[in-house]
Amino acid sequence: MTTTTTVSTTFCINILNRLSFGGLEENVKALESLLPADDKNTARSLHEKFGTKLKLLTDPTCAKKFILHITNEEGSSYRSPWSNVYYSEFTLAVTENVGYMPSPSIREIECHANELFESYCHHYYGKKCVSSVYINDKEGEENGKEGFNAVFMLFKEVQNNSINCQGDTTSLSEGLWNSIHNFEVRQVQLDHGNKGKRTEFLYKLTSTVQLSMGLLPASIKGCELNNDDIPHIRGSLARCVERTHGLPDDSHVSALSHVAIMGKMIEELELDMRSNIDALYLQKAKEIICRVLLEKQVGKVLKHGIPNLNDPSGLMAALKKKQENLNSNALNAALLRRGKK
């Protein structure tokens, strides 16, 4: 990648990191159109980092959906992780000899990974989600012994057109959760210790979660929500982790071990990210709206020991009480002055 390309990529990423995920496809397209025609690297980097709305195709051999991604793409055909066959995106016809095919050892890891990741997704996301895992040999290598690249993807969409604001809690009118987990797995050292030959692998995981929620809060007197104006929360979060694990040399056992190690890393990181989204990002989004209105009062109220900025109604109650105290103090002072006269 040239220096100019790196600089362009940086500026494009800076822009997309600020804009809402809701207009992602449109914004990525707009940025691509502004790049020089020969700058394919920046366009590819943007797609890899941000993706666009994940598209699905159904594998006709097993009637299972799979996710379309730059990793399994070859022209307008995409390789199904279930049947390992390329299908045209538009006609679903089989297209042969078009692109990358994983080596047998990599394909073994890919099959186990797809089976387990699908089950994992059903446990956490329900049966309506779609998952896909694609594993590529490391460049210049064909059996995965020195490493490979893997991408685990998950797509979940909720569509519920009910705009009936009833009930006590906020529910979902529509929602989307995309997870994209990119692994770079590399052999790091050979250990010939007393316990026999063991190979160590470094697992570098970069995860991106994209989230969109159209919310149905419980109804409140005095206001109305139209279909187009329901509250929306849209966002994305990225994280990176690295782990090193030793594996036995038996290729079959190591295939299962690779899948277990990558799976556990994904599960741990997703738990952490979900917790961050709930406890940090969503609560902060609420808090800063409240601070627009109550900023001036926050400082005064905090002095009187009301620290909970997350409860604006509690804050307002405290302010009212403070005002009442001030009023009664003023009244007492006025009565005293009158008495002295």
Within 275-314, the residues that bind another protein by CB under 8 A are: 275-286, 288-298, 311-313
Dihedral pair phi/psi, residue 171, rounded to 5°: -115, 180
Q: Torsions phi, psi of 314, nearest 5? A: -65, -35
Is the Cβ–Cβ distance between 215 and 231 less than 8 Å?
Answer: yes
Report the residue number, 94 or 124, with the smaller CB distance to another protein. 124
Question: Nearer Cβ to another protein, position 87 or 144?
Answer: 144
Contacts of another protein in 4-63 (CB under 8 A): 8, 11-12, 14-15, 17-23, 26-27, 29-31, 33-34
Q: Rounded to 10 degrees, what is the CA torsion of 315, 321, 322, 323?
A: 110
Smallest distance from the beta carbon of 324 to another protein, in angstroms?
Answer: 15
Residue with tokens 């070859």: 74
- Tell me how far CA of residue 45 lies from CA of 39, 41, 51, 184, in angstroms: 11, 6, 9, 16
Nearer to another protein, 50 or 86 (CB): 50
Taking the least distance from each CB to another protein, the nearer of 26 and 250 is 26
Tokens encoding 217? 């809060």
Q: Which whole-number Å values give the CA distances from 299 to 13, 54, 212, 239, 296, in the listed order?
A: 36, 45, 34, 34, 7
The mark string for 105-144 relative to another protein (x by CB under 8 A, - otherwise) is: -------x--xx--xx--xxx-------------------
CB of 319 to another protein, least distance (A): 9
Q: How far is the CB of 223 from another protein (least distance, A)?
A: 5
Residue 93: both structure tokens together: 């016809």
Instruction: Give the DSSP H/E element, type plus range, for residue 264.
Output: helix 251-276
SS3 82: coil
Nearer to another protein, 62 or 92 (CB): 62
- Residue 114 Cβ, how far from another protein at the closest point, in Å? 11
Q: Indicate which single residue of 54, 130, 211, 309 sits in contact with another protein (rule: CB under 8 A).
A: 211
Extract the tokens encoding 152. Answer: 């685990």
CB of 127: closest distance to another protein in angstroms?
Answer: 12
The CA distance from 212 to 157, in Å, is 9
Helix (H) or strand (E) holding 323: helix 312-340
CB of 29 to another protein, least distance (A): 8
Hey, which residues between 220 and 259 contact another protein (CB under 8 A)?
220-226, 229-239, 256, 259
Residues numbered 160 to 189 that lie near another protein (CB under 8 A) are 169-172, 175-177
CB of 23 to another protein, least distance (A): 5
